[in-house]
Structure 1
Amino acid sequence: MKVLITGGYGFIGSHIADRFHKEGHDVVIIDNLSTGKREHVTFKHKNYQLSIDDPKCEEVYRSNKFDIVVHMAAQVSVTDSILHPARDAEANVSGLINMLNLSRSFNVSKFIYASSAAVYGVQQHMPIKEDAECSPLSPYGMSKLVGERYAGKWTEWYGLDTLGFRFSNVYGPRQSVIGEGGVITTFLNRALAGQDIVIHGDGSQTRDFIYVEDVADVIYRASLSQVTGVYNVSTGTECSVKELVDYVQELQPVKNITYGSSRIGDIDRSVLSNERVQNDLDWAPLYSIAEGLQRTFSYFQREQAAAESAATKVQRASSGLRAYKSLLKQVQPFGENLLAFGLTAWLTLNGDIGVGTAIDVKFFYITIMGILYGNKQAIVAVMLSIGLYIFERLEEGNEFISLLYIPDFFFQIAIYLFIGLVVGYSIERKNNQIEQQQVKIAELEDKYEFLNGVYHDVREVKEELQLRILNAGDSYGKIYSITKELESLEPEKVFTATVNVVKSIMSAPFVCIYTVNRDASYLRLVASSGTSGAATANSLKVSDHAYISTVIHDRQMFINKQLIDNAPLMCAPIYDKGTVSAVVMIDGLPFEKFSLYHQNLFKTTVDLVTSALSKSFAYIQATEDRRYIEGTPLLRDEVFQEIVASKRLAFKEHHTPYLILRSSGDHVDHIRETSRAIAAMLRETDYIGRHADGHVLVLLSGTSREDVESVMERFARRGISLTLVEEDQ
């Protein structure tokens, strides 16, 4: 299963990513890293640094084909939503709508998103249930409530399965101090730093704190369910801020506790009912507040110790380097300008190329400074050149006042100014154009890198699929040939082929198939691949095995997660016309294959078998008058021989036992009466045929040589004498 997690580098999102990865699923993350950190997710995965409202998200969907989307990206600060409501709505509403639209367009199976207890506002009745009237007190709560309405409409209008969770106050490792749940992080960090803890209000206000791994667990369970709508996720337990401080003090002594004014948007009490999510998803929180705080405290202890050892060195080195680079960047143009001016002054005063000569080097100096550095340094060069020009005139014996009366004095200064302004402005304008072009080039390069990354992702997936196909050529051939076997219209052949199908696809050493009798009280073995532990039973009484009752009466696949003795690892029903007609069991799987993936694979395989058996049952019913000798329960010779051949093949391949008995002492003229008497004593999986000499043949499925004497005695009590013709040896 391929899962997209938006905000996957964030506090909750990274824990959800870890959970899906541990369960063997492919994880893709979209995160703009505004609050998340890449180091939160350490396993190999695909990632895209994007905002959730970025148009590039469409390319991500197009190239990945997601099964599940878990939308965790959001603005989570109540205070920030009050200060910047438009920014809050853009993140929590516009971004959600974009993800909903893309999930609908690209056929995502399920869309799970984060809501909040903030939608409820102030409530009188505790714990708060999902049907309580919502009256949010902040723009954050409003945006979350609006998001729920949008998700509900996408389900109603477009059929997209959406599931929202109203989280109570989530806490745990990797959490920042932003958001309501951040109070625990704030308290723990301040306690570790030896700082005062500040309580907003009198400390009697309560919250429902839930550990982040419990949240990740409920989201993972939800991804495998058919549940939709909106649910609370909480512990259902109130904890006051004062009680929280007491828990913290048990972990780390607190220097001092001070009380401040209540924050805008805070409520006095909050505890959510989790009864509905417990019933519908079979989920319950594992961690108490004490256990969760202990795990969180240990995490922050490790983080603080590592940060303190590295931060000091890095900060000193980086701050000094930054200051040096900043100063160098500011001083360098002036330094080079002064150096060029010094050369210009030396050439002017000592090289006879100053005023009154054919070449005035100051023109070149101003022009070069303007070209190199633009308008600012060009003006500095003009001022220095004017100063040098005045100095030249004074050296010639002119008085400063007399310079004002020289006609070409102002003309020369005007030329310097003109050259400086024209060159400086032209270069400045050109530089601005170049910067704009560089910005456009950077944007195009960014887009190219993004699309190139998508292209390589697609190529990687394609090459991986090709490699799998090449390496699995034999498996595909086997599945194809077995599927051809399932096309038979004879149930016995289908049963035998089913064992091959399940054994090959599941790599299960032990596979057996039982048929269900008319009143669903017994199971009869019709095919097996061997024995598991004790010998595979020929018949099973339904009432003696709870897991069989679950499969037959509740019509649910049984997974032996508790590893119950004398029960298979997996068991699934086969249907015919809406009723359970047979049961497939597998056992002996390696531990690493006892996973959700193999459970789904088993269900798919059984569905394939069910389809094949339905066709054969329908064929038998349609041709029943041609299968039996008219007026008798005797199968026609060719039909009986075909079934016998199937039994022989099943024994040859899987050692599935069977017996063939022949009636003796009856006259051919009374064969009808004999066959009816025998048929009344047989099971649904047994058959009656006719011997070449005209006597009745009885085929007993799943019956071994050890049972033959008891079988003959049972028939003898009814006046029917049978002899063994063929057995499982």
Structure 2
Amino acid sequence: MKVLITGGYGFIGSHVADRFHKEGHDIYIIDNLSTGKKENITFKHKGYILSVEDSKCAEIFRSNKFDIVVHLAAQVSVAHSVAQPTVDAESNVLGLVNMLNLSAEHHVKKFIYASSAAVYGLQEQLPITEDAHCSPISPYGISKLSGELYSSKWEELYGLSTLGLRFSNVYGPRQDGLGEGGVISIFMNRMIAEQPLLVYGDGEQTRDFIYVEDVAYAIYRGANSYQSGIYNLSVNQQTSVNRIISVLGEIQPLKEVVYTEKRVGDIDHSVLDNTRVMRDFDWSPLYTIEEGLKRTAHSFIQQSAEQQTAASAGAVLKSPMQIKLQEGFKRLLPSIENIVAFLLTAWLTLTYANSSYGAIDVKLFYITIIGILYGNRQAILAVVLSSGLYVYQKLLDGRDIISLTYDTDFFFQIAIYLFIGLVVGYSIERKNTIIQQQEQKVSEVNERYEFLENVYTEVREVKDELQLRILNSGDSYGKIYAATKELESLEPEQVFNAAVTVVKSIMHVPKVTIYTVNPQQSYLRLLASSGYSLDTLPKSLKVSDHHYLTMILQTGEIYINRQLEDSIPLMVAPIMHKDRIAAVIAIDGLTFESFSLYHQNLFRITVDLISSALSKAFTYIDATESQRYMEGSTLLQADIFQEILNSKIQAFDQHQVPFLLLKAELSNITLIEAAMHVSSKLRETDYVGLNKNNEMLVLLSNTSIEDSNPILQRLAHASIELRAVREE
């Protein structure tokens, strides 16, 4: 999907972008960088430095056809909203309406936006549910509530699916000191700087703090749900400021904690009810306040160390005072140059007053030159200075001030100075104004041209890339779609079986094998295969006997058999689960022309797809483990065992992978005791379970009837009789 995130370079937005990127989506960002930082995003994406209320946003929507819009760009400071409510409304209301309009116009599938607990105002009943009466006490809360009303009306009028999330106090890495959760980031910065922590009140006031990665995951879950409307997003737990200080003290010794008077308007306790979002999104917060603070502190400490390193390497920045002095000097420079020119004029006038050069009025040249260089303001100053010099000349000639007031020649000369100053200054000022207007128009046209050129270039790149993929991949889109559907199972056995089909289909290879890796990563067990005769394919591999397996398990990278060694597959890749290698998949039999970088990348993408599907299956199994087994035993429930058996039958039908099904007859032994005995002697790829008649069955992977004798001897027990009931 194409996902547009406004405010994507900011605190919450960058984490949301990380989440969608990790899930394989294309990320686009609109951010004016008022609080965001481009370095918050390190992966490949497309970013636009714009405000969300800018009309040029229409070009972005027109060019990209977004599936999801996550609107997080906002003015987040309550104090700033009180000081400048118009700026708050411009960003939080006008920007939201612009995004709503464009999303409806361009048929966006879902519009997700950030609201806030500030819409509730003061509430006595805790925890606060979504049905509570909203009565915001700040312009920030009012703008957020207005956004909810606009979004609801756009859903009603235009059918745009809108989802609003009322955040509680969000905290985590990349946060600054602004916003509703800023107390933690302020504490972090002061802790690292070894400064006292300042607490307003007794520190027993509580808030509902939620870690930013939990917020990002909830937004991702919301984007993939059919839900709309308003939801609280919180952990539904109250945490006091003193508790935060206590946890921070465990992370790093604190210099001092200073308690001062409670601020006017601060509420004592706040907590949001998250029952609805947990139920409808199938979401729950993963991070406790202790875990979240530790991760946040680690990030802040690392960032501080990097800044200190940069400073010690010679990064010199001008202080605010230096910047102000420099700007002040630039403003005074024309006046200083004017005075210097006047002093030169005065010297020439007084020095050569009685010479033949004295007939030339240097002051007229001075006024004209200053007017041409600096415009009207400095020309008027030159007129004033020249008039003063003219009066001084008359006084030196023996005239007095009173007699000058009756001298028409005197006033005529002053009028000439004023006329020249005004005409020249006004003409130059008007010319400069016209030039500035034209330059501004040219700048706007160039800016728009550059913007449209970037959009055009991006569209061309995407078009060329799609054409290249179509030429190189043939009907790969249909195959990848089919592969995605085949890998949607929540049973690992079915995922592995489907993986063989997927790899053969996408890579056009005749031979595929999948081996599982034991927990010690010392042995590999054959799980699924296609294209090999069963006699030649080893059912287990010792890692230390094969250098390429050792390399894969050590590095986690794909192995390419560039030396074309006979006993090694052409490509072997690890299948990851929770940062460990759960299995390896190998392909062989590629044609020489297909042994290329393109096919290596295609194999990598295919394996990543399989890893993702397998991780989801393992996660599901971990979550439902108590329901998969008979209570207090290692026996799989009948329905779960039947699903695994069906996948083995399917693997045999498609790839001739053998399996052996044994039925147990028990005497003087319970099911649980029998299961414990058999399970302890099985491989990782074998299963023990029940059938619908509550009889114990044993399913042996990659095992034929010829292999049964040594296995039956290994599983032998006086009270357990095992016999093959199905062998394929």
Q: CA deviation at 1:597?
A: 9.1
Correspondence for 1:430: 431
The aligned counterpart of 1:11 is: 11
Report the Cα offset of residue 373 of structure 1: 0.9
Partner of 1:143: 143
Q: Which amino acid aligns with 2:261?
A: G
State whether residues 346 and 389 of structure 2, in contact with CA within 8 Å, keep that contact through their aligned partners in structure 1. no
Partner of 2:450: 449
Corresponding position of 2:81: 81
Gaps of 5+ in 1: 483-497, 513-527, 537-558, 570-586, 601-649, 658-703, 708-729
SS in 1 for 2:271: coil
Letter of the 2:608 counterpart: E
**In structure 1, distance between residues paired with 2:507 and 2:427:** 75
Structure 2 unpaired stretches of 5+? 484-498, 514-528, 538-574, 586-602, 617-650, 659-702, 707-728
- Secondary structure of the residue aligned to 1:314 is coil
Q: d(CA) in 1 for partners of 2:170 and 2:390? A: 74
* 1:493-550 deviation line (CA, Å, top 9, x unaligned): xxxxx998884248797999xxxxxxxxxxxxxxx955899999xxxxxxxxxxxxxx
Partner of 1:164: 164
Residue 190 to residue 476, structure 1, CA distance change in 2 (3 Å) = closer
Give the C-alpha shift of residue 101 in structure 1.
Answer: 2.1
- Are the structure 2 counterparts of residues 54 and 288 from structure 1 closer, same or farther at C-alpha, using a change threshold of 3 Å? same
Measured after TM superposition, the shift of residue 187 of structure 1 is 2.1
User: 1:594 maps to what in 2?
Assistant: 610
- d(CA) in 2 for partners of 1:116, 1:477: 42
Residue 243 of structure 1: CA displacement? 1.8
One-letter identity of the residue aligned with 1:411: F
Deviation at 1:287, TM superposition (A): 1.4
**Pairs within 5 Å for 1:387-398:** 387-390=388-391, 393=394
Give the distance between the partners of 1:651 and 1:37, measured in 2 at CA: 54
- Contact 2:334/2:378 (CA < 8 Å) preserved in 1? no
Deviates more, 1:292-301 or 1:310-319: 310-319
What is the DSSP-based 3-state SS (H/G/I as helix, E as strand, rest coil) of the residue aligned with 1:173?
coil
The residue aligned with 1:240 is 240
Are the equivalent residues in 2 in contact too, given 1:232–1:274 (CA < 8 A)? yes
Once the two structures are superposed, residues 346-399 of structure 1 have per-residue CA deviations (whole angstroms, 9 ceiling, x without a partner) of: 378449887874x53332221111111112322332234334445555666767
- 3-state SS, counterpart of residue 15 of structure 2: helix
Please tell me whether the aligned partners of residues 117 and 166 of structure 1 are also in contact (alpha carbons under 8 angstroms).
yes
Query: Secondary structure at the residue paired with 2:316?
Result: helix
Match of 1:38 in 2: 38
Change (3 A) 1:418 1:126: closer
Matching residue's letter, 2:289 = I
- Paired with 2:478 and 2:139, the residues of 1 have a C-alpha distance of 60
Flag the 1:353–1:472 CA change in 2: closer, same or farther, 3 A: farther
Are the equivalent residues in 1 in contact too, given 2:500–2:530 (CA < 8 A)? yes
- Secondary structure of the 2:450 match is helix
Please tell me whether the aligned partners of residues 341 and 381 of structure 1 are also in contact (alpha carbons under 8 angstroms): no
| Distance apart, 1:176 and its partner CA | 1.6
Q: Does 1:282 align with 2:282?
A: yes
How does 1:593-672 map onto structure 2 within 5 Å? 593-594=609-610
Counterpart mapping for 1:539-578 below 5 A:
none
Does the CA-based 8 Å contact 1:196-1:256 persist in structure 2? yes
Q: Deviations over 1:5-60 (max 9, x none)?
A: 01111110011112222333211111122222222223232111222222211111
> 1:66 Cα shift?
0.9
Amino acid at match of 1:269: H
| Counterpart position of 1:372 | 373
Cα distance in 2 between the residues matched to 1:85 and 1:367: 48
Following TM superposition, by how much is the alpha carbon of 1:92 offset from its aligned partner in structure 2, in angstroms? 2.6
Query: Partners in 1 of 2:604 and 2:454 — Cα distance?
Result: 43
Q: Secondary structure of 1:594's partner? A: helix
CA 44–589 in structure 1, closer or farther in 2 if over 3 Å, else same: closer
**Is residue 345–residue 366 contact of structure 2 (8 Å, CA) maintained in 1?**
no
Whether contact under 8 Å (1:187, 1:197) holds in the other structure is yes
Distance (whole Å) between structure 2 residues aligned to residue 405 and residue 303 of structure 1: 77
1:289 CA drift (Å): 0.7
Q: Give 3-state SS (helix, strand or coil) of 1:112's partner.
A: strand
Q: 1:33 to 1:385 in 2, by over 3 A?
A: same
Secondary structure, in 3 states, of the residue corresponding to 2:424? helix
**Residue 3 to residue 654, structure 1, CA distance change in 2 (3 Å):** same
Give 1:259's aligned residue: 260
Give the distance between the partners of 2:610 and 2:10, measured in 1 at CA: 31
Q: Distance in 2 between matches of 1:384 and 1:340?
A: 7
Residues 175-195 of structure 1 deviation map (CA, whole Å, 9 limit, x = unaligned): 122222111112222333343
Aligned to 2:413: 412
Q: Distance in 2 between matches of 1:209 and 1:232?
A: 13
| 2:358 is aligned with 1:342 | no
| Distance (whole Å) between structure 1 residues aligned to residue 613 and residue 2 of structure 2 | 12
- Can you list the C-alpha shifts for 1:144-168, whole angstroms capped at 9, x where unaligned? 3333343334334433232222222
Alpha-carbon displacement from aligned partner over 1:438-483 (angstroms, at most 9, x marks no partner): 3333333332332222222222222222232333348589999x9x
1:44/1:85 CA distance change after superposition, 3 Å: same
Contact 1:152/1:229 (<8 A) preserved: yes
Q: How far 1:63 sits from its partner (Å)?
A: 0.6
Distance 1:146 1:419, change over 3 A: closer
Query: Match for 2:418: what amino acid?
Result: L
The CA distance in 1 between the partners of 2:448 and 2:18, in whole Å, is: 29
Which residue is equivalent to 1:470?
471
CA shift, 1:234, in A, is 1.8
1:413 and 1:276 map into 2 onto residues whose CA distance is 83
**Paired position in structure 2 for 1:461:** 462
Given that 1:97 and 1:150 are in contact with CA atoms closer than 8 Å, whether structure 2 keeps it comes out as yes
Work out whether residues 222 and 281 of structure 1, in 8 Å CA contact, stay in contact via their aligned partners in 2.
yes
- Secondary structure of 1:429's aligned partner: helix
The 1:412–1:285 alpha-carbon spacing in structure 2 relative to 1, beyond 3 Å, is same
> Conserved in 2, the CA contact under 8 Å of 1:53 and 1:94?
yes
Larger Rg over CA atoms: 1
Query: Which moved further from structure 2: 303-312 or 191-200?
Result: 303-312
Residue 69 of structure 1: CA displacement? 1.0
Deviations 1:633-677 (A, max 9, x none): xxxxxxxxxxxxxxxxx99996699xxxxxxxxxxxxxxxxxxxx
Q: Percent identity among equivalent residues?
A: 56
Match of 2:231 in 1: 231
Q: How far apart, CA to CA, are the structure 2 residues paired with 1:7 and 1:379? A: 49
| Amino acid corresponding to residue 116 of structure 2 in structure 1 | S
Going from structure 1 to structure 2, the CA distance change for 1:241 and 1:425 (only over 3 Å counts) comes to same
Aligned residues: 541
Normalization by structure 1: what TM-score? 0.64
SS at match of 1:236: coil
Aligned equivalent of 1:301:
301
CA-based RMSD = 4.6
The AA in structure 1 aligned to 2:386 is S
Amino acid at match of 1:21: H
Query: Cα–Cα, structure 1 residues 355 and 375, in superposed 2: closer, same or farther, change >3 Å?
Result: farther
Which amino acid counterpart does residue 52 of structure 1 have in structure 2?
V
CA distance in 2, matches of 1:231, 1:88: 23
- The letter for the 1-side match of 2:14 is S
Aligned to 2:61: 61
Partner amino acid for 1:113? Y
Inter-CA distance 419–137: structure 2 relative to 1 (3 Å threshold): closer
Q: Is the 8 A contact 1:337 1:369 kept in 2?
A: no
Do 2:118 and 2:141's aligned partners in 1 also have CA atoms closer than 8 Å?
A: yes
Matched residue, 1:221: 221
Match of 2:332 among 306, 330, 336: 330
Change in CA separation of 1:706 and 1:59 when aligned onto 2, cut-off 3 Å: same
1:71–1:111 CA contact under 8 A, matched in 2: yes
Separation in structure 2 between the aligned mates of residue 705 and residue 561 of structure 1, nearest angstrom: 30
Following TM superposition, by how much is the alpha carbon of 1:340 offset from its aligned partner in structure 2, in angstroms? 6.4
Q: Are 2:180 and 1:184 aligned?
A: no
Would you say the 8 A contact 2:338–2:370 is kept in 1? no
